[in-house]
Amino acid sequence: MTGRLRVLPFLVILALALSAWGCRSPFFYPTRDHVPVPGLENTVRQDVRFASEDGVPLHGWLLSPRDRLSRGTILFLHGNAGNISTHVQSVLWLVREGYTVFAFDYRGYGWSGGEAPDIPGVHRDARAALSKLLSLPGISPDRLVVFGQSIGAAIAVHTVATASPARRPRALILDSPFAGYRRIVREKLSSPIITWPLACPVSRFFDDEYSPERWIGKIAPVPVIVIHGTADRVVPYADGKRLYDLASDPKGIWTVEGGGHATALRNPEVRGQFLAFLASVLPPEGEGPPPR
């Protein structure tokens, strides 16, 4: 019996390791079915169908304010669970404030095609979404801001960093971002005592090529804003601070004391700060863009 008890922790660790290694990606938890979205009926909604760089069919919503000129466009990259219908409330208030929002689903999510998402695939999807958005009538990079939440923030960094100068947005806003794919795996596995020995070896099985800490320094001269709560239990505040430190000027960090994961924009003060920043980087309709 004593020998079996000594072997049990090893078997548990081995099972966890095999689970991590055998999983196509522990970063994505997509759902297909859309849920009702209160307030969506008060926007002008256009279904947008387009293809990813490798041909996977994708779906998004172009949401515009009713009965007023758009003050600018937001490309929204959502988090890792659900689909656009479960995330769009995070940005629907921006449509009410007069902004056009393009929210799309990565492969395997919602009405987009494809099977299980993976890290390279969702980055191809984001680049395709940026390209599609800029091909639509009236959409210009000079009146565009990219906004990502959680894993969407990580994807947004690489998307903007690798965009051609002519296609780069006016600003990049990151809400609750993690600094790196391997880094967040190490952080998560290092917390429980039973898995901390696996933190380094298991993390090496995950693609780190697209990690935001590798690309955030290439965003300039596009301004970067990092929003992060100090009580975030999903992604440590230190991750957001690391990205801020690695970013080149112009940059800013909005620290939300006691804030949780991707909850900052529920705060009216943070919303006001967000709107003020948009107004500072996006020109009014009919005016030329502010200097980059």
pLDDT digits (tens, 9 = 90+) for 132-149: 999 999 999 999 999 999
The pLDDT assigned to 61 comes to: 98
What type of residue is 57?
A: P
* Percentage of the residues of the chain whose pLDDT score is greater than 90: 75
| pLDDT for the residue numbered 26 | 73
pLDDT of residue 81: 95
- State the Cα–Cα distance between residues 192 and 38, nearest whole angstrom: 39
132 token code pair: 């599609």
Output the pLDDT for position 68: 84
- Residue 117: asked if its preceding bond is cis (omega within 30°), the reply is no
pLDDT at 82: 97
If you write DSSP's letter for every residue of 6-71 in order, what string do you get?
HHHHHHHHHHHHHHHHHSS-TT-EE--S----TTGGGSEEEEEEEE-TTS-EEEEEEEE-TTS---
List strand residue ranges (DSSP E) for the chain, in order.
29-30, 44-51, 57-64, 73-77, 81-82, 100-105, 144-149, 171-175, 224-229, 251-256
Task: Please say whether the beta carbons of 266 and 88 come within 8 A.
Answer: no
**pLDDT of 288 strictly over 70:** no
Alpha-carbon span 70 to 97, nearest angstrom: 9
Neighbours of 128 (CB within 10 A): 20
Confidence of residue 67 (pLDDT cuts 50, 70, 90): confident
Task: Name the amino acid, one letter, at 64.
Answer: S
Tokens of 220: 């300039």
Q: Could you tell me which residues come within 8 angstroms of residue 143 by beta carbon, excluding any fewer than 6 positions away?
A: 72, 73, 170, 282, 283, 289
**Cα distance between residue 149 and residue 262, in whole Å:** 6
pTM above 0.85, yes or no: yes
In this model, does residue 224 exceed pLDDT 50?
yes
Task: Tell me how far apart the alpha carbons of residues 24 and 18 are, in angstroms, rounded to a whole number.
Answer: 12
